[in-house]
Amino acid sequence: MTFNYLRNLLQLIIFPASGWDDIERDNKLHGDALTDYMRRIFLCGLLPLIGLASVTALLGAAYHHSVTIAIATTTAIVTFVKYFVAYYIGTFTLQMLLPRWTENSARQHKATDAAAMLIVYSMGYLVLVTLLRNLLPVDLALLMFLPIYVILILWKAKSVLEIIPDKSGLYLVAASLLTLAVPYVIERLLNSF
């Protein structure tokens, strides 16, 4: 399961349009089987990736002398919590919004699973960027801009989700905000304590 998730995530990063087509082709399940599959993707794919990114946040104490173990541990906890909570906020919000934006009535009934799929893979990309930033001992300006690429990944998902053309801009803004802004806001809130 983890291997399939990482393979699909890598496919999305390299070729977003064909990556979403492959994910859609892999997910020919319906009803409870699809819901169980999406739950397993989260538990066996995204959640271990979030955990790995959190553990690598501890490397800050090794790379930078000004970072203490307490600060590195706090950073690791904040990293885990921001993505974990953002997943649920994003999924819940998209479950309410996607049925209004889709053309196909059958797709409207699958909004729960479509929202989970969209958030699991787009959030997975952001977690990979965080993992990469944690592994490098220096801050590169390029890494600060890599999260913006998730907008292209979300844009390419609109054909698989069968978003109404008139609503595609609204979909992109909402999905981008849920994917990019929610983890950032949660991180700022947790760091303010």
Reported as a pLDDT band with limits 50, 70 and 90, residue 100 is confident
Domain count, the chain: 1
**DSSP of 52-114:** HHHHHGGGHHHH-TT--HHHHHHHHHHHHHHHHHHHHHHHHHHHHHHHHHBS-HHHHHTHHHH
Q: Which residues constitute the domain of residue 15?
A: 2-191
Closest by Cα among 192, 175, 193, 191 to 86: 175
- Give pLDDT tens digits for 17-69: 888 888 887 766 566 677 787 888 898 999 999 999 999 998 877 887 788 88
**In the predicted structure, residue 81 carries a pLDDT above the cut 80:** yes
User: Do the beta carbons of residue 154 and residue 172 sit within 8 Å?
Assistant: yes
The answer to whether the pTM exceeds 0.85 is yes
Q: How many CB atoms lie within 10 A of CB 10?
A: 14
pLDDT (0 to 100) of residue 92:
93
